[in-house]
């Protein structure tokens, strides 16, 4: 049986549902080009700030027994670098390009979004409401009133469809509250669930030490650790959002986890820790494993099982 992995949504066509999580293989043109040349179905830039940032001191990423911990601090080349990349990108012959924006203030976000608006490029913008690794900066996504205010100001400036990247939520009340905020904005067309689980701690038993330098060792947790939380967020926002897509992110290292995200309702799936550890070759492997699993289960398209998770 032939399997079709393609995804068409918000005017973009992806050969398969996989692409990089913002923050991994996306800081430089060379990294973005490597993702574009891989088996990924799309690519997204590093979350950009108004001005270039070096980020937090090294070491700021470490592999952990069941995933990873990082406190990167938004190292990026500044929004103009990614705007220039988007202007030069082959939007007709290349894969869909997403641009992640994560200003240090609302004013910064509005300035960057206005620049992308004026450039009138066919890339989709993702506003990051969820960076957990900036000392002294709270995650906007955990303040529902502040999130509503930010989005109210954003839609005054940016009139094209856009998405947001969300932190993980853990309580049904919070799922419902954030969904209510997001449903108030018709031009907000997708959400990415989830960013890393913030402020975890990994300890090396041999050295009796933390494994990253920033914030006394606290950092965002990714990989196997976060898969159940990511799936819960995908499923709940898939249920609660009106006419919006959900992008799954968290714990994807094989076709099995990609299948789970789609079963929970994800339109597409991002890969983070696995991409960092394995490199861009992981996309072909995960794609092929997903196709084989679909064949085994008798599914010809992603729509055949998307959002059809059974409950007891």
Q: What is the pLDDT of residue 120?
A: 97
pTM of the full structure: 0.98
Q: What is the pLDDT of residue 135?
A: 77
- Tens of pLDDT, residue by residue, the chain (312 residues): 899 999 999 999 999 999 999 999 999 999 999 999 999 999 999 999 999 999 999 999 999 999 999 999 999 999 999 999 999 999 999 999 999 999 999 999 999 999 999 999 999 999 999 987 777 778 999 999 999 999 999 999 999 999 999 999 999 999 999 999 999 999 999 999 999 999 999 999 999 999 999 999 999 999 999 999 999 999 999 999 999 999 999 999 999 999 999 999 999 999 999 999 999 999 999 999 999 999 999 999 999 999 999 999
Domain ranges of the chain: 7-55+74-199+223-304
Superfamily of domain 7-55+74-199+223-304: Aldolase class I (3.20.20.70)
Distance CA 60, CA 267 (A): 31
Q: Is 22 annotated as a binding residue?
A: yes
Q: Is 136 annotated as a binding residue?
A: no
In the annotation, is 274 catalytic? Answer: no
Q: Is 46 annotated as a binding residue?
A: yes
Q: Is 6 annotated as a binding residue?
A: no
* CB neighbourhood size of 307 (10 A): 16
Q: Is 215 annotated as a binding residue?
A: no
Q: Is 195 annotated as a binding residue?
A: yes
Q: What is the pLDDT of residue 133?
A: 75
Q: Is 165 annotated as a binding residue?
A: yes
Annotated catalytic residue, options 26, 48, 131, 274: 131
Beta bridge partners of 202: none
Q: Is 194 annotated as a binding residue?
A: yes
Distance CA 104, CA 23 (A): 16
């Amino acid at each position: 049986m032939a399997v079709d992995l393609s995804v068409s949504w918000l005017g973009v066509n992806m050969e398969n549902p996989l692409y990089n999580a913002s923050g991994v293989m996306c800081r430089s043109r060379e990294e973005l080009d490597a993702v574009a040349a891989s088996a990924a179905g799309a690519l997204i830039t590093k979350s950009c700030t108004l001005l270039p940032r070096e980020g937090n001191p090294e070491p700021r990423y470490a592999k952990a027994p069941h995933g990873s911990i990082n406190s990167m601090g938004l190292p990026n080349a500044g929004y103009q670098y990614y705007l220039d990349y988007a202007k030069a990108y082959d939007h007709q012959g290349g894969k869909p390009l997403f641009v992640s924006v994560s200003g240090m203030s609302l004013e910064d976000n509005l300035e960057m979004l206005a620049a992308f608006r004026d450039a009138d490029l066919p890339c989709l913008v993702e506003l990051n409401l969820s960076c957990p690794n900036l000392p002294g900066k709270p995650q906007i996504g955990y303040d529902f009133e502040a999130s509503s205010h930010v989005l109210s100001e954003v839609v005054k400036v940016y009139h094209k469809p856009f998405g947001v990247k969300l932190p993980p939520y853990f309580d049904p009340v919070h799922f419902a509250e954030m969904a209510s905020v997001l449903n108030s904005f018709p031009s907000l067309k997708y959400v990415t669930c989830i960013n890393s689980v913030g402020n975890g701690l990994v300890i090396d038993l041999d050295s009796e030490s933390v494994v990253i330098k920033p914030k006394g060792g606290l950092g965002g947790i990714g990989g196997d650790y976060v898969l159940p939380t990511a799936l819960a967020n995908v499923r709940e926002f898939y249920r609660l959002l009106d006419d919006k897509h959900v992008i799954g992110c968290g714990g994807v290292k094989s076709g099995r986890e990609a299948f789970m995200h789609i079963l929970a309702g994800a339109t597409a799936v991002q890969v983070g820790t696995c991409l960092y550890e394995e490199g861009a070759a992981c996309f072909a492997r995960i794609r092929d494993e997903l196709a084989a699993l679909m064949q085994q289960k008798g599914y010809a398209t992603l729509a055949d099982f998307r959002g059809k998770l059974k409950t007891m």
